[in-house]
Amino acid sequence: MGNAGTAAVAPRGSGVAGAPRVDAQPVAATYWKGRDLLELRGCGAGPLRAMLRAAAELPSPDECAPEPWRSRLAGRTVATLFFEDSTRTKTSFSIAARRLGADVADLTAGASSVNKGETLVDTALNVAAMGVAAIVVRARQSGAAELVARAVSCPVINAGDGRHEHPTQGLLDILTIAEAHGRVPGFDLSGLRVAIVGDVVSSRVARSGIAGLTTLGADVVCVGPPGLVHGGLRTLGCEIEHSLDAVIGAVDAVIVLRIQFERHGDAAAKGDGGKPEQGKSTAIASIREYRELYGMTTERAERMRPQAVLMHPGPMNRGLEIDGPAADGARSVILKQVANGVRVRMAALGLLTA
């Protein structure tokens, strides 16, 4: 699909490079029909709002989905190709597909012929040949979902590719913030300021969040030590700040990120077996110092604005980037994010395959 900025919203087979950006004008949910969802960068406000409104109209996952959603994918199959570990994304895509009436074909790295040398694209082509309605892809390599999308004719959803993007996580984070601050169904986030704290440089969640939030009018400030939040990230459209204490009382939502030691890849991050070691990275001076300066402690959570919400995409490392009482406290919407993940993924699967 070539151009990263337009791939997210380009019609299949359009060549995409010159696809027009769609901005704030109302966009019908049918806009998404037959498209891929690869990234939020370059996705206009209109398409974003159409997707978010569809998700917001869906009930929480513990309630029965209404028609026509409940049978939207009846008799069809959604394939999930997960070549990297996942708890939330994989499970919620499976639940979302089933709530739309679909069958689900789950493929994981450990149980696929990728282990015998088959490429990701060949794997996807074979799965697509079985007549699936959509393919959901997670992979370690940035751009992997786009490679699959170029090869197959069914819609492809990026469920996280390397450090690139995780668009459905970005959408569920936006839905959660918009609900907390009364911005549904308009999804105009102007006047809201969101802090993304921690390992931004490694984070596909941050990239999708920055793209989607700023497109809808929010200001985003990324907070962390220079090794994890460097000035070059300003090109994404966010502010940069190295003091969490300077911003904690001046934002409407805080998204805390896990330190992704496994993506740092430097010598200090490797243990004896050459594998990433939790707590080791040259990007931070020490865990103790990181916690002191950037840890989401109960005390810091108490200094947030009264209506501000505390978020984390998971998986959480309690006691490292976030303290247990803060994660479980009154302003935490972390499990709300997870529940909204099912609604967003139902909307994405339903609209792309309509």
* Site for ligand CP, rule CB under 6 A: 86-89, 160, 166, 169, 313-315
Nearer to ligand CP (CB atom), residue 169 or residue 281: 169
Nearer to ligand CP (CB atom), residue 143 or residue 160: 160
Smallest distance, Å, CB 89 to ligand CP?
A: 3
CA proximity to 11, closest of 1, 24, 23:
1
Residue whose entry in the numeric block shows the structure tokens 């009436």: 101
Which contiguous run of DSSP H or E holds residue 351? helix 334-352
Contact 222, 234 (CB under 8 A): no
Cα-flanking dihedrals φ and ψ of residue 106, to 5°? -95, 130
Nearer to ligand CP (CB atom), residue 42 or residue 160: 160
Contacting residues for 49 by C-beta, under 8 A, at least 6 apart: 26, 27, 186, 187, 216
Give me the DSSP letters along 50-100.
HHHHHHHHSPPTTSPPPTTGGGTTTT-EEEEEE-S--SHHHHHHHHHHHHT
Contacting residues for 286 by C-beta, under 8 A, at least 6 apart: none
Smallest distance, Å, CB 82 to ligand CP?
A: 9
Smallest distance, Å, CB 88 to ligand CP?
A: 4
Smallest distance, Å, CB 305 to ligand CP?
A: 25
Cis, peptide link before residue 276, omega less than 30° from 0: no
Give me the DSSP letters along 303-336.
TS-TT-EEE--S---BTTTB-HHHHTSTTB-HHH
Smallest distance, Å, CB 37 to ligand CP?
A: 15
Nearer to ligand CP (CB atom), residue 199 or residue 219: 199
Give me the DSSP letters along 258-285.
---HHHH-SGGGB-TTSSB-TT--TTSS
Smallest distance, Å, CB 116 to ligand CP?
A: 25
How many Å apart are CA 286 and CA 263, to the nearest integer? 17
Nearer to ligand CP (CB atom), residue 72 or residue 312: 312
Smallest distance, Å, CB 50 to ligand CP?
A: 23
Nearer to ligand CP (CB atom), residue 214 or residue 340: 340
Nearer to ligand CP (CB atom), residue 219 or residue 321: 321
